[in-house]
Amino acid sequence: MTLQTEATAPMGSSPLSELNRQMLVILDFGSQYSELIARRIRETEVYSEVLSYRTTTEQLQQLNPRGIILSGGPNSVYDEGAPHCDPAIWSLGIPVLGVCYGMQLMVQQLGGQVERADRGEYGKANLFIDDPTDLLTNVEDGTTMWMSHGDSVTQLPEGFEVLAHTQNTPCAAIADHDRKLYGVQFHPEVIHSQGGIALIRNFVYHICQCQPTWTTAAFVEEAIREVRAKVGDRRVLLALSGGVDSSTLAFLLHQAIGDQLTCMFIDQGFMRKDEPERLVKLFQEQFHIPVHHIKARERFLAKVEGVTDPEEKRKLIGHEFIRVFEEESKRLGPFDYLAQGTLYPDVIESADTNMDPKTGERVAVKIKSHHNVGGLPKDLQFKLIEPLRKLFKDEVRKVGRSIGLPEEIVSRHPFPGPGLAIRIIGEITEERLEILRNADFIVRQEINRQGLYHDFWQAFAVLLPVRSVGVMGDQRTYAYPIVLRLVSSEDGMTADWSRVPYDLLETISNRIVNEVPGVNRVVYDITSKPPGTIEWE
């Protein structure tokens, strides 16, 4: 954190920050659950960050965390080239919790043994507790925990003892109480682990002796103070999209610097039906925050003409966003800062924190880039200010409510920065945009009519670039299919497809087929995340 430049350093991340004085660090070994661990710790109102497993003990000492968690990962510790942490970590005197791969690494580096298990363990398993104190205080004997491992600990290092076991895993939880080193073979961070939150609380509060200082009120107070200190009397340009992230940021910045903030909304042509007009009216007439409405639909559509690769779409749109901001700032400016509603999952999924500066190798698999992280051009003319960069989505909602953001924006379903451009699979055309806008409008209208909007994390339509045969009025049709995507989630990091009432699906399907020209088929996506993602691109 201390090594980041002014252009990229997140607000609220100074090692001297009151919010960060009591923090836990998660060292990431390539697990897709690493940010979920961080999220669970945040739920205890203690600050946490995900860092690369290559983080040195010297860097950790600068951060002075109260505890360290080693994440899971796809490797076996005995594989050639398997990722290892700095072995000096075990001598720092800081409590360490190894999760799955992290536990196996701890055992191996401290002189124990890890081998391929005769029987792997995947999914739910009952945890039988041998020592109900310390890490496992208030964790019920026989509780369900989520397993995902093919290796097992076969010999403990000196000083360790078994805390719990399962039917297939003799060493399911271990500890060296004197050195405050702990390991669990299961994943306490996932929702399927019934006693997982209790275990995490034990580690955070009892073992690491943390206090709950990571609160909404404390964040808002410190963010406003840091924005004022950083910006001074200079002007800030905000990339306003109308979503909860940028809207919360607009309210926060307006409280901090008032008229020094200029909000600019670029209508890039990929918004949902009627949204651009409603957004501008809402901010200007109800919130009294001026918004410059830039109409650039033709420009963006031309930029992505013929482009089918989703990553290329994101980057082109991201570049064009910045170019438009640069051009408009000359007319409205000058501006010193560009404010963005970048969130912590954006940073992690873009793998910014896990890049090896020497080899360029990324620890975690890059899922997708985000136009406000991975799409920034190298010749950026603004300094970035990103006060929300260390927040998860639900934390942003809490901040939004606390500073007076209306519920209709706070509870708005997440909407990707590139908009409908990544909900049209393949090439983007005016015809396909019009089809998707109308279909998506029907989806949102019907779930609102039935009072189900807040039952879903996201609910939207996707247009596929294929056509199928249908029959309408005794006439053969050859038209597009629409995919319905309705998911349930706590934080967007994992998600499950929603068990939607059949009558709702029927109503949506009938309306789309009858009211949207160019569509003759509606299908429902029943894929969870993982293995899929929420968005199709």
Q: Which residues are annotated as catalytic?
A: 100, 187, 189
The HSE-up count of residue 325 (CA atoms within 13 Å, CB side) is 29
Measuring CA to CA, which residue among 107, 26, 33, 108 is closest to residue 67? Answer: 26
Cβ neighbours of residue 351 closer than 8 Å, sequence gap 6 or more: 362, 363, 364, 366
Q: Which letter does DSSP use for residue 139 in this model?
A: P
Residue 480 DSSP SS3: strand
φ and ψ at 306, to 5 degrees? Answer: 80, -5
CB of 66 within 8 A of CB of 25?
no
Taking the C-alpha atoms of residue 513 and residue 432, their distance in angstroms, rounded to an integer, is 15
Q: Which letter does DSSP use for residue 205 in this model?
A: I
Measuring CA to CA, which residue among 48, 406, 385, 372 is closest to residue 248? Answer: 406
* Runs of H (alpha helix) within 333-475: 344-349, 393-402, 407-410, 430-449
CB of 224 within 8 A of CB of 249?
no
Measuring CA to CA, which residue among 399, 404, 461, 472 is closest to residue 436? Answer: 461
CB of 158 within 8 A of CB of 165?
no
Structure tokens at 49: 């960050």
Taking the C-alpha atoms of residue 287 and residue 279, their distance in angstroms, rounded to an integer, is 11
**Burial class of residue 85 (count of CB atoms within 10 Å of its CB; 0-12, 13-18, 19+):** buried
Helices 393-402, 244-257: inter-axial angle, 10-degree rounding: 40
